[in-house]
Amino acid sequence: MRAKVHVFLKPGVLDVQGKAVEQALHGLGWGGVEHVRVGRTIEFDLAAQDPAAAEAEVKAMCDKLLANTVIESYRVEVA
């Protein structure tokens, strides 16, 4: 199965990378750009048959390694 994990900073946590991108886009003439957030996406193949079990496994991976749950939230897709 193919798993996709989207990791984003929680709302309220200052996203310095997003701010930098926003200012760079403004500098290039795209002044209408606002509220930029930069996150990361981790995709991988997983040796599992049952979608529900696979999703639970991927969530465990997120809690343990892929996301810093103090400041980041994540969304899991398994297909």
Which spans of this chain sit near its own copies (rule: CB under 8 A)? Answer: 6, 8, 18, 21-22, 24-25, 28, 30-48, 57, 61, 64-66
Tell me whether residue 19 or residue 70 sits nearer to its own copies (CB atom).
19
Closest approach, Cβ 70 to its own copies, in A, equals 19
Closest approach, Cβ 6 to its own copies, in A, equals 6
Residue 38, by phi and psi: left (phi above 0), alpha (psi -120 to 50) or beta? beta
From CA 26, how far away is CA 32, in angstroms rounded?
8
From CA 37, how far away is CA 58, in angstroms rounded?
23
Amino acid at 67: A
Tell me whether residue 43 or residue 69 sits nearer to its own copies (CB atom).
43
